[in-house]
Structure 1
């Protein structure tokens, strides 16, 4: 018997990432659904001051609306020289939500005069699991690296083409999906949820 878990996103790449992680960890009997697989429900805007607040709010809304265990994440780029910004504003840093190219170009413009040694950054992800009437848990994953001056690579999305992880020469957008899963902020956060997801299967 399979267990259904709702990942509160319409992002196909996020869905595939969680499915790959579950399969790799022997949890292939969990079926991951996305928002396009369930009836529409009102989704509250992301108004939290932290990644954790936004992730928990999204997971709670999804779980209450559908009755399914729900996972949600909120993630973004934290740039040292920009005092941790764009942070929770990462997806709309240039003004329009989801305009990856504009967001990326704005960050590069803001760092134009910043020397290489001060271009440190981290991808941050908070992931929340809400099981109706039972459990709420929020975890966090971080992936340190530096911001380069011109985009490279076509894998991934968002700020991946300008982020080089620590210990790497390639950008996040030049890594293979399996490599990214094992190292990325979202991969780290989602793996922290695995014991709680495993409990759903064994109930």
Structure 2
């Protein structure tokens, strides 16, 4: 039975993006993974709310990966199943790299995309700006539901590293944010994040184009190269 890849998120946009990227992998073992969100496993009950209390992307990704893996293990999930957690956000140069790890709750604890985007625009306008250099950052953390440690050697690359029994991968995408909003696709700050030579926003890109340009796409391409070792 092929292992499942359990995404430690109920954000269906993220789950769909990740599943589509894995489906195009050149490794059969990766393509055959069943990709499912943690909230779509009713046989194990309701997944716990993980307190994203760290002040770094990597710290929060590891908290989520370890928290969901522990919940699944205690609930009797298969030890070979794999958990993938990500923490990502927008770092705006004019805001001293904020909102960063607080991107999903920039406008408050229960903020939605519209509220966060309105806050982004208001903060730019408060500084007399119509745009700022910015960067999307994503850290992916992977670990098995079982307790076996990873015993493989990673390449000497700063964007791929081991921490707290998790394989961690970082992806980044440079661009700029503007007051102007364009496009209906994507999610989060995508309608205000301009890339492609500053001619289009993430929200104007197709799903395949975005996966080639985005921070999550960059991280996933690196991760896919290492996943066969995780699944071995």
Structure 1 position 168, deviation (Å): 4.1
**Residue 49 of structure 1 aligns with which residue?**
55
Give the corresponding residue for 1:62. Answer: 68
d(CA) in 1 for partners of 2:54, 2:143: 17
Give the TM-score of the pair, scaled to structure 1: 0.92
Which structure has the larger Rg?
2
Query: 1:9 — aligned with what?
Result: 9
Equivalent pair of 2:176/2:198 in contact (CA under 8 Å): no
Give 1:63-142 correspondences, 5 Å limit.
63-67=69-73, 68-112=81-125, 113-115=127-129, 119-131=132-144, 132-133=146-147, 134-135=149-150, 136-142=166-172
Which residues of structure 1 form unaligned runs of 5+? none
Match in the other structure for 2:156: none
Q: How many residues align?
A: 201
Rounded Cα–Cα distance in structure 1 between residues aligned with 2:18 and 2:228: 13
Match of 2:190 in 1: 160
Q: Secondary structure at the match of 2:107?
A: coil
Cα RMSD (Å):
1.6
Q: Does 1:36 align with 2:66?
A: no
Cα distance in 2, alignment partners of residues 62 and 144 from structure 1: 30
The Cα shift of 1:41 comes to 3.2
Contact 1:146/1:166 (<8 A) preserved = no
Instruction: Tell me, in whole angstroms, the C-alpha distance in 2 between the residues paired with 1:105 and 1:174.
Output: 19
Q: 1:41, 1:119 → 2: CA distance?
A: 38
Distance 1:77 1:14 in 2: 15
Deviation, structure 1 residue 98? 4.2
Shift of 1:150: 2.0
Match of 1:21 in 2: 21
Q: What SS does the corresponding residue of 2:200 show, helix, strand or coil?
A: coil
Alignment of structure 1 residues 161-180 onto 2, 5 Å: 161-180=191-210
Shifted more, 47-56 versus 93-102: the winner is: 93-102
**TM-score (normalizing by structure 2):** 0.81
Question: 3-state DSSP class of the match of 1:119?
Answer: strand
3-state SS of paired residue (1:167): coil
